[in-house]
Structure formats: structure tokens, C-alpha cells
Structure 1
């Protein structure tokens, strides 16, 4: 008899432990898993494998969602719930629904609220592979609405941008094989996933900034990440080679942001790893991110350091322009298209010989840098306007032709178009052709 009772107790405990809680203490409300404020809704949410943090593949037997205590669900209780696998972590647009063919219906019927919870028990378990991310989709089919203080009823938490896609309206029940255009959200439902067992340690944090392989990161970056459900602290490590901690070694952080106490080196590749800690247990298997800091200030940052164009056609790719300093401020010697000046960017120089020269500045594909060309004669301490051009927008090339005078030096400035603020420069290629 004792053995039977112990066995029953074991299965009860195992059943209670076979669940994963994700941010169930969240207090904000949002349109997920359904909308209570519109007659009909359809919502898809993506929970990444990393966030679920299951110790192995298994059968999901139900979901629990958390209701704001002040809300009612009387008219929003007719649900159909689906689960699925996906490689996506976010929705790319308002029509980027995960196809119905990739979803499995796990529940349909009337849900009930109990102690500010809605527990959805599946009619058939869903086999989660613990390889892909999990899609949780729910459709609300009642024709009426609930009037709540906060409009929506369910608790949500902030997470990866566009990780939820929802539609809500009053016309008709949504056909999930052809859903209408929806709205993306940066939050998800606080949720309990029944049937899966969590890994021994907390989940690995999602790093918000810097993203993996980010270039031109500040020398004093504000490193941020999403909070991990159940974590009480985090550890940050930074090194200059994979797996190293020679810059920051397992720094304990209580919040979700960190800046190194000493400035990082210019033009250097760093390796970043962040783990979560819960009850002295640290998350394992967390990925290492790589980022590169801004380059050193360009040698031709100031007019006095202008690069000499002496052999034509002259071409130079300025890939460190992001670190220009704007020196003494914007240059107001020339005006163009209503602008009263331009940023002090990087400088080039040519000696006048009576010939015409065409100066072209072009950006790499995909660039949003909006350059202006300013050409001046005289000396760095006494510039006179020869010409300027700012005809295009971000990513567009600029071209200017000038006629030189023998014995006169000409200084070419390539800077951001803005005439009042220090807008950032970026990579460009300047070509000077003698006509």
C-alpha cells in the first residue's frame, strides 16, 4: 500500500513539474491570445525554442493564459486553438501569417476563467520537437464583446519585435486559411505550457543590442537584453577572442542593461556572452555574439589632414567616416537647395591647373547615408565657396564639376547634408576625374 501511495504521489509531482512558466507575473494587457474588445479575432504568437527552454522534446497537453483581475470574458469565450512549428522568430509584415497547413488544431470549445486563469486542456497532445520555435494561434468566434477597463483582458510581456501578429474585427469569424491583414505587436501572452519539462537552468537571454555581427558599435555601448522568466540576475562576459573574458569576466548584473566601465578599443572585434542565473543555477549553452567597435578618427577628419588627389582618375573608399568629429561645427561657406551649410565630414585636396574636374561620391548598395559635397578654394583657415551639391537623398550619388584656376588649392569636403546638426557620416567612395 505504501508503495502504491508513493507511486501515485510521484506521478502527481511529476505532472505538476511538467510545465514551463513564461513571464506569468506580467501585468500589462494586450491583444493576445485573443481580443476581448472586438467580436472576432485571430492571433498568432511565436515562442522561440530558446525562450521555452525545454530539456527535451515532448507532448504539450495544454496552455494556461492569465487574465487581468478587473476583466471579464463572458462574451469572448468561444475559442479554437492551434499549435505549430516554425523557424521564424518574428513576423515580417501584417500579412506574414504562418499558413494554416503548418498548424494543428488542439482545442475548440468554450473556455472558462478560474482564479484569473484560462486553462486550455487539449483534446490531443501536440508533439513539440524542441528544435523549432513554437507557434501558438487562437481564434475567438463569439459575435459579442466584453467591455473592460483596459479594453483587452489578458496579461502580456514585452519581447522580440513583431513576435505577435493579430487581427480583430466585427464582421465575421476569421478563416485561418485566408486571414485578413493584421497588426504586429512587440509582446506575447504570459503563458504556462503544460507537458514539457524545463531545463535545469534558466533560459539564455535574448540580446537586444548589439545584434550579432553589428559593426560600428560605440566604444561605451549600452548592452541590453530581454528579461528571462524566473531569472534573478545575469552574468556578462566580453573578450577579444572567441570564449575569452579578458575585458569583462562574468560580471554579475541585476538588471537587463550593462555598459563596460572602461571604453572599448577602436576598430576591435569583441565577443559577448550573457547568461541568466536563477537560484544560483546558470543557463547553459548560450550563444556568443560578435560585434566590432567604431574605427579610429579618420586621418583626413580635418581640413588640415586632407588627402591629396594628384593622379587622375583619383578614387578612394572612406570606410571609417562614421568616426568623423565635425571638428568646429557645420560649414556655412556654401549654400545649396535652401540649405545654409553642411556637416564637416572628411577632406580631400587638389591643386588647380586650369582644368575641369568632376567629383563624384557614391555609396555602397543598401546605404542610407545622404552626402553633400562642398568644394572650397583658399586655405583651411580662410575657405571660399567654389561649389556644392546635395541633389539626392539617402543612398543617392552626388556629382559636381568645377573649373580650377592654376596655382589655387581646392579643398573637397564630403559630409552629411544636414546644415544644423551633426548627422553621422558613413562609408562612401569618392572619384575625381580630370576632364
Structure 2
């Protein structure tokens, strides 16, 4: 008899442990898993495998959602719930619904609020493969609405951008086979997944900045990551080679952001890994990412270091302009299109011979850099405006033609068009052609 009681107790305890809590302490409210403030709603949410952090594949037997204590869902309790697998991390647009044909209906009926929770128990468990990401979709079918202090009733937490897609309206119950255009959100429901067993170690954080293979990262970068449910601290490792820790060796951080106390070296590749810690247990198997810092300040950053164009056509591609400084500040010698000046970008010079010269600045495909081109005569300490141009928008080419005086020296500045703000310059190619 004792043995039977012990076995019953064991399985009861294991049943309680077979659940995964995801940010159940959140108090923010939002439109997920359903809307209580509109008559009808349909919501899809993506929970990445990394965030779920299950130890093994398993059967999800139910979901628990968390509701604001002051809210009611009396008129928002007719639910249909679906689960599914997806490789998506986010919704690409307001119509990027995961087809209902790829989802499994796990519940249809009336839900109730109890102890500030809504429990949805499945008749048939859903087999989660622990390979793909999990989709939780819910449709609210009742025609009335609940009036609550915060409009929406359910607790949500901020996460990856566009990880939720929702529609809410008052016209008709949504057909999940042909849902209307919706709205994307960067939050998801605080939820308990019943039936899954959590990994023995906490989940790995999602690093939000810098992204893997990011170029031109600042020398004192603000490294950020999403909080991990249940984590009480994080460890950061940073090195100059894969797996390296020569810059930071598991530096303990209590929040979800960090900036190195010593500036990184310019033009250097770094390797970053962040792990989470919960009750002195550190996450395992976390991926390492790499990024590269901004290049050194270009040699032609100042007028005094202007590159000489001595043979024409002269062409130069400036791929380190992002590190150009504004030196003494914006240049206000020339004005164009309402701008009273431009950024001090990078510099070029040539000597006139009485001919006309055309200066063309182009950007690589996909660039958003919006340059202004200024042409000056005189000396670096006493510039005189010859002409300036800023006709195109971001990524557009700029062209300017000037008539020179024989023996006079001309200086060309390619900088951001902003006349008051020190904006970064992007990659560009300058061509100076004698006509």
C-alpha cells in the first residue's frame, strides 16, 4: 500500500513539473491570446524553440494564460485554439498568417477566469517536436465585449519584433482559413505550457544588438538582449577569436544590457556569447555571434589630409567614411536647398587648369546614405564656396560641374547633408572627370 501511495505521489509531482512557464510574472496587457475589447479576434503567436527550452519533445496537454486581476472576460470566453509548428521567427507582414491547414485545433469551447488565470485543457494533446518553433493561435467568437480598465485583459511581455499577428473587429467571427489583414506586435502572451518538461538549464538569451555579422559597430557598443524567463543574471564572453574570452570572460551582468568599460579596437572582428543564469545554473549550447567594429578614422577625414586627384578621370571608393569625424563642426560656407551647411565628411582636392570638372558621387545598391557635395577654393583655413549640391535623396547620386581657374586649388567635401547634426557618412564612390 505504501509503495502504491509513493508511486502516486511521484507521478503527481512529475505531473506538476511537466510544465514550462514563459514570463508568467509580466503585468503588461495586450491583444493576445485574444482581444477582450473587440467583439471578435484572431491571434497567432510564435514561440521560438530557444525560448521554450524544452528538454525533449513532448505532448502539450494545455495552456494557461494570465489575466489582469481587475479584468473580466465574461463576454470574451468563446474560444477556438490551434497549435502548430513553424520555422518562422516573425511575421513578415499583416497578411503573413500561418495557414490554418498547418495548425491543429486543440480546443473549442468556453473558458473561464479563475485565480487570475485562464486554463485551456486539451482533449487530445499536441505533439511538440522540439525542433521547430511553436505557433499558438486563438480565435474569440463571442459577439459582445468586456469593458476593462486597461481595454485588453491578458498579460503579455515584450519579445522579438513582429512575433505576434492579430486581428480584432466587430463585424463577424474570423474565418481562420481566410483571415483579414492584421496588425503585428512585438509582444506575446505570458503562458504556461502544460505537458512539456523544461531543460535542466535556463534558455539562451536572444541577442538584439549587435546582430550576427553586423559591420561598423561602435567602439563602445551597447550590447542588448531579451530577458530570459526565470533568469536572475547573465554572463558575457567577448574575444577576438572564435570562443575567445580575452576581452570579457563570463562577465556577470544583472540586467539585459551592457557596454564594455574599455573601448574596443577599430576595424576588428569580435566574437560574443551571452548565457543566462537561474539559481546558479548556467544555460548551455548558446550560439556565438561575430561582429566587426567601425574602421579607423580615414586618412582624409580633415581638409588638411585631402586626397589629391592628379590624373583624370579620378575615381576612389571610400568604404571607411562611417568613421569620419566632424572635426571643428559643420561647414557653413555654402548653403543649398534651405540648408545652411553640411557635415564635415571626407576630403579630396585637385588643381584647376581653366577647364570644367564634373564631380559625381554614387552609393552602392541598397545604401541609404544621403550625401551633400561641397566644392571650395582657397585654403583649408579659409575656404570659399564654389558650389554645392544635394539634389537626390538617400542612396541617390549627386553631380556637380565647376569651372576652374588655372593654378587655383579646389577642395571637395563629401559629407552628410545635415546642416546641424553630426550624421554618419556611408560608403560612396567619387569620380572627378575633366570635361
Specify the TM-score bucket, using the shorter chain as the normaliser: over 0.9
User: Shift of the alpha carbon at 1:402?
Assistant: 1.3
Alignment of 1:5-404 (within 5 A): 5-404=5-404
Measured in 1, the distance between the counterparts of 2:274 and 2:161 equals: 20
Q: What is the distance in 1 between the residues matched to 2:311 and 2:127?
A: 68
RMSD: 0.8
> Which secondary structure state, in structure 2, belongs to the residue aligned with residue 9 of structure 1?
helix
Q: Within 1, Cα distance between the matches of 2:410 and 2:343?
A: 18
Deviation per CA, 1:250-300, whole angstroms, max 9, x where unpaired? 001111111111111011111010000011110000010111111111100
Measure the CA separation in 1 of the matches of 2:430 and 2:105: 59
**Partner SS, residue 332 of structure 1:** coil
Q: Distance in 1 between matches of 2:116 and 2:310?
A: 77
Which runs of no fewer than 5 residues in structure 1 stay unpaired?
none
Write out per-residue CA displacement over residues 192-243 of structure 1, whole angstroms, 9 at most, x where no aligned residue. 0011111001000011111111111111111111110111110001000000
SS of residue matched to 2:249:
strand
Paired with 1:271 and 1:8, the residues of 2 have a C-alpha distance of 49
Q: Report Cα offsets for 1:78-120 as digits up to 9, x if no partner.
A: 0000011111111121111111111111100011221111110
Distance, in Å, in 2 between the alignment partners of 1:198 and 1:430 is 57
For 2:384 and 2:148, the matched residues in 1 are separated by: 67
C-alpha distance in structure 1 between counterparts of 2:430 and 2:104, whole Å:
56
- Structure 2 CA distance for aligned equivalents of residues 122 and 282 of structure 1: 33
CA–CA distance in 1 between the matches of 2:54 and 2:6?
Answer: 26
Q: Which moved more, 1:409-418 or 1:349-358?
A: 349-358
Q: 3-state SS of the aligned residue for 1:122? A: strand
CA distance in 2, matches of 1:229, 1:421: 40
Q: Distance in 1 between matches of 2:207 and 2:178?
A: 34
Q: Give unpaired runs (5+ residues) of structure 2.
A: none
Residue 191 of structure 1, CA deviation: 0.3
Secondary structure of 1:3's counterpart equals helix
Distance 1:73 1:337 in 2: 57
SS in 1 for 2:392: coil
Q: How many angstroms apart in 1 are the aligned matches of 2:157 and 2:137?
A: 17
The CA distance in 2 between the partners of 1:146 and 1:330, in whole Å, is: 56
Q: Secondary structure at the match of 2:4?
A: helix
Deviation for aligned residue 1:5: 1.5
Aligned: 1:431 with 2:431: yes
Task: Give me the whole-angstrom Cα distance separating, in 1, the residues matched to 2:423 and 2:233.
Answer: 37
What is the distance in 2 between the residues matched to 1:335 and 1:73? 61
> 1:15 is paired with a residue of what secondary structure?
helix
Output the CA distance in 2 between the equivalents of 1:275 and 1:382.
Answer: 55
What is the deviation of 1:322?
A: 0.7
* Other structure's SS at 1:8 match: helix
Distance in 1 separating the partners of 2:75 and 2:20: 29
Aligned residue pair count = 435
Runs of at least 4 residues off by over 4 Å? none
Separation (CA, whole Å) in 1 of partners of 2:338 and 2:222: 37
- In 1: Cα distance, 2:251 partner to 2:230 partner: 19
What is the alpha-carbon distance in structure 1 between the residues aligned to residue 71 and residue 180 of structure 2?
27
